[in-house]
Chains A and B, each alone.
Chain A
Amino acid sequence: MKTILGIAVFLLTSMLPIYAQRGNTQAPTSPVTGSAANGKALYYSYSCYACHGYNGETGRAFVGNWSANLANEENFIRFLRGRANVAPLTPSTSMPNFAENTLSDKQAKDIYAYIRTFKNAQPDLKNILLLNQIVEDASKPSTR
C-alpha cells in the first residue's frame, strides 16, 4: 500500500512540474514509429486541437515549447496514461487522462507522429511590422 502511495506521490510531484515548466524551444529528434496521417485524424477526433490548436502553435502550444513529455514516444504515452492519478475533482491541470482502453499505444504513437510534424512557422518578431509598431506606439503619448 505504501509503495502504491509512494508511486502516486512520485507521479504527482514529478510529472506536474514537468508539465508546467517551460519546455525546449527545439523539437525532439527521437525516433517516430507511428503514422502521422492516422494521427492527424485522431488529433481531431480526440479533440487534442481544442487545447493545443490545429497546428500546435496556439493555446497550450507545443511548438517552441516542447515539454519533456514530448521528448519521445515512451514519455508521451506515460504522460497520457498518468493523468489518471491527477485528483479529478480538483484538477491541477486541465489535460485529460487517456486510458489504454480508450486510446491504444498504437493510436497514441500515431498522434505523437502527427504532433512531430508541427513546425515553428511563426516569423521572427523583427519581421512582423504590426507588432513592432504596437511596441513603438507604446513609447509615445496617448493618441486620444
Chain B
Amino acid sequence: MAKKNGSLNRRGFLKGAAAGAAASAASLVTNTSPAEAQRGGNAAAPVPAPTQEQIARDAGVVRPPATVRAVQRPGSDLMVQVLKDMGLEYVAGNPGSSFEGLQESFINYGNPPNRMPEFITALHEESAVTMAHGYAKAEGKPMIALLHGTIGVQHAAMSIYQAYYDRTPVLMITGRDEGFIQAHTAHDMSAMVRSFTKWDAQPRTLEESLTALQHAYNEAITPPMGPTLVVLDTEFQKEEARELKVPAYRPPQIAGIDAGKAKEIAEALLDAQNPRTEVRRLRTPQGVKLSVELAELVGASTGTGATTGPMSFPQRHPLCGPGASTAYDYTLGLEIPAAQASIIGPGLATLLARDTANVGFGGIVPVAGGRGARGGAGATNAAAIQADAEASLPLLIEEVKRQLTADKRRVIEERKAKHAEANRKARIEAITQAVETKRNGWDSSPVATARIYAELWPLIKNEDWCLASPSGFSGGHHVQLWDHNKPYSYLGGQGAGGMGYGAPASVGAALAAKSRNRIVINIQTDGDLNYAPGVLWTAVHHKLPMLTIMHNNRAWHQELMFVEYMCGVRGRGTDRGHIGTSLRDPFIDYAKMAAGYGMASEGPISDPSKLAAAFKRGLDSVKRGEPYLIDVITQPR
C-alpha cells in the first residue's frame, strides 16, 4: 500500500483555496464578479442556466477530452465493477472526503457512466440508509448507502438500527482516511454500529476490499438479512490497480429444508383433507410466486401478511382467506409458527454475539413464549424447522409434483373451487362490515383519515402501486379498502418504530418503481416528515414517481395521548399535555416546504370534497415523473 505524503499538503491546499473561496463562490451562483461579491453587490441576480454542453456532460453523453491521468486504473474503478457485477441499481449518499475516489468512479467509470449503480444524491446519511431500507423492502434486494467516515456513520446509526430490526438487506460503504481530518477517522470504524449491523469488514488491501464487498452483499441477503458495512480506505480507492483482476461473483447458497423433510411435508399436505398454508414475510418476489404455486398445487386455503408488510401471499388470490372450512387438518407455516409444521429462517437472535456493546435490544433476545427471534407472532404448536422458507419451496414443490396422482389432482381442484367461493363471500362480508365504520366523519372537516384512503383507491386500483409509508398512525384503512396483490403492495412499519422513516423509505421504494412503471404512495405523517425533509428534494432531483399525501394532524398524536393520560394519573390536568407533543404556533405549511425543495404541491386542504380532484392532479404529475405533495389537514386519527 502506498501511503501518501501526509495531510499537510492537502491541508495547505485547502487553506490557500479558502481565502478566495467566499468571493468566487458568490460569483459562481449569482453571476456576480468576485469584486462585486466582496462588496456584497447584486446578490439577488439569477443563477445562470446550465449550458447544453454541461447538460450533455451530466447525462454522460459527452466525455471529457482524454488527458494523461496520474492513475490509469484506480482501485475504486474495480470496486465499482464489483458492485456492477452484483447488479446493484443505486448508491445513495451525500459527499464525504473519505470516499471521494470511490465517488469519482461511481459517476465516471463505465459505459455509460453512473449507471448500475446510479448515484442518488441524499441530503442526510439517515435518509440514504432509509432509502436503501425502503428500496430493499420493495425489491427484495439491497442498494448501497455511502457514508462519510465517523460522522456519516453516526448520522446513519438510527436508520441502520431500523433496517437491522426489520431484517432488511442494505449494503453500506464508508470511507476511511487516516491522513486528513482526525475527527473523521477511527481505528475501528464499524465499532460504532457493530451491535446492529449484521456483518462488517475493514480490509487491509485493495484485493481484500473487492472480496469484502462481495462478502458483505452475500451476508446482507442471507437470512437473517440485514445491513452490512465495508470500510474502504482512501488509499485503496486511489491506488493504481495495475493487473489486479476483479474477482468473479458467486451468489450465496441459502439453506432450505432437506429432501427428507420436503418429502414428509409434501406427503402431509397431499394426504390432508383440508390443508392450509400460512405465509408471512418471504425474502423476494420469487418466494411469493413459489408460495402461490405451492398453495395451488395442494389446494390449500392460505393466510397472508400482505396487509402488514411486503413479500407475502396476494390478498385477492382465490385461495387467500379462511377457505370453505376452518377445520384445518394440516397447517404449514412459511416464516410463521403453525400447528403442524413451520419453516422459519434464522432470526436476529443468531447474531447476539455481535452485540459487543451489550445493548441487549429486548426484542432480539429470545424470550420464552415471546416473539424473540421475530419469526412471527402466534402459537408455536410445532417445533419450527430452522431453514429459510423461500429456499425450501423449490424442493417442496418438486416433491409435491412427484407425489401428485390424478385422483389427488381431481380432489384438489374441487376443493380449490369451494375455497374460492367461500373466500369471495368472506371478503365481501368483511368489506361490507368495514365500510360501515369507514364512513365515520365522512364529511367532517378536518378530513377523516379513512376518507383519504377511500378517495385514493379508485384512482390507483388499476395502476401498479406501492404504499411505502407505514399506516399505523393513519388508521391503516388500506387494510380493508385496498387489495394487496403484489409483493410490494404495502411495505409495512419502520422496523424499530423510529420516526423520520416514511419519506425516505418512500423515496427508496420510488427508486425501485421508477424503471418499472410503478407509482409510490406516501401517506406521510407530519411529525415523521420533519426529521429529514430534504429527502423531498432527492425525489424531485431524480424525478421519482412518488405521491405524498400529508396526514397533517399537527402533532405527534400518539404521544399527546400518552402525556395526556399521565397528566390525568397525576392529577395535574391535561391542558398542558400539548407542550412538546403538538406542532402549533405556528402551523407548518407543508405545501410551501415541498415547494421550497422544488416539489409540485398544493394545500392545505381541510374540505374532504376537494380531495379527489387534488389526488388526480397529484397522480397525473407523478406519472409525468414529477413527484407531488398534497397537504391535508386531518382529524387526529
Mark A residues whose CB is within 8 Å of B: 45-47, 49-51, 53-55, 57-59, 61, 63-64, 83-84, 88, 91, 94-99, 101-103, 121-123, 125, 128, 130-135, 137-139, 141-144
Which one of A91, A96, A97, A125 lies within 8 Å of B435 (CB-CB)? A125
- Give the contacting residue for B444; candidates A50, A58, A83, A141; CB below 8 A: A58
Q: What's the minimum C-beta distance from B87 to chain A, rounded to whole angstroms?
A: 26
Closest to B462 in A: A143
B568 touching A83, Cβ below 8 Å: yes
Tell me whether B431 is interfacial, beta carbon within 8 Å.
yes
Contact B432 A123 (CB under 8 A): no
Report the bound CA distance from A119 to B314 in whole Å: 40
| In the complex, chain A residues whose CB is within 8 Å of the CB of B569 | 88, 96-97
Q: Which residue of A lies closest to B567 (CB)?
A: A96
Q: In this assembly, does B427 line the interface, its C-beta being within 8 Å of a C-beta of chain A?
A: yes
A122 contacts B440, C-beta separation under 8 Å: yes
Binary CB contact string for chain B from 454 to 468 against chain A (1 if under 8 A, 0 otherwise): 110110011010000
A54 partner, pick from B555, B557, B577, B635, beta carbons under 8 A: B635
Give Cα A50–Cα B581 distance, bound, in whole angstroms. Answer: 11
Contact (A143, B573) CB under 8 Å given A53-B635, A59-B636: no
Taking chain B's interface residues, is the majority helix, strand, or loop, or is none over half, making it mixed? loop
Within 8 A of A (CB), among B431-476: 431-432, 435-436, 438-444, 446, 448-449, 454-455, 457-458, 461-462, 464
Looking across the interface, which residue of chain A has its beta carbon closest to that of B316? A142
Which residues of chain B have a CB within 8 Å of any CB of chain A? 314, 316-318, 424, 427-428, 431-432, 435-436, 438-444, 446, 448-449, 454-455, 457-458, 461-462, 464, 481, 483, 485-486, 555, 557, 560-561, 564-565, 567-569, 571-575, 577-578, 635-637
Q: List 30 A-B contacts (CB under 8 A).
A: A46-B575, A47-B574, A47-B577, A49-B636, A50-B564, A53-B635, A54-B444, A58-B441, A83-B568, A88-B569, A95-B568, A96-B567, A99-B573, A102-B567, A102-B574, A121-B441, A121-B443, A122-B443, A123-B442, A128-B439, A128-B442, A131-B435, A133-B458, A134-B457, A135-B431, A138-B424, A138-B431, A142-B316, A143-B461, A144-B486
Can you name 13 extra interface pairs (CB under 8 A) apart from A63-B440, A128-B439, A143-B483? A46-B577, A49-B636, A57-B441, A59-B635, A94-B565, A99-B571, A101-B573, A102-B571, A102-B574, A121-B441, A125-B436, A143-B462, A144-B462
C-alpha spacing A97/B577, complex, angstroms: 13
Contact of B485 among A50, A99, A142 (CB under 8 A): A142
Complex contact B431–A53 (CB within 8 A): no
A55 touches B441 (CB 8 A): yes
Q: What chain A residues lie within 8 Å of B568 (beta carbons)?
A: 83, 95-99
Cβ of B436: which chain A residues have Cβ within 8 Å of it?
125
Q: Closest Cβ of chain B: how far from A87's Cβ, in Å? A: 10
A75 to B564, CA, bound (A): 21
Q: Which 3 residue pairs spanning A and B have beta carbons closest together? A: A96-B568, A102-B573, A57-B441
For A132, what are the chain B residues with a Cβ–Cβ distance below 8 Å? 435
Chain A min CB distance to B563 (Å): 9
Task: Please give me the residue from chain B that is nearest to A91 by CB atom.
Answer: B565
CA distance A28 to B359 in the complex (A): 54
B428 contacts A139, CB within 8 Å?
yes
How distant is the Cα of A50 from the Cα of B635 in the complex, in angstroms? 8
Asked if residues A123 and B635 are in contact (CB atoms below 8 Å), the reply is: no
**Residue from A49, A122, A142 in contact with B441 in the complex, judged by beta carbons closer than 8 Å:** A122
A116 to chain B minimum Cβ distance, whole angstroms, is 17
Instruction: Give chain B residues whose Cβ lies under 8 Å from the Cβ of A45.
Output: 575
Residues A57 and B444 in contact in the complex (CB < 8 Å), given A101-B571, A134-B431: yes
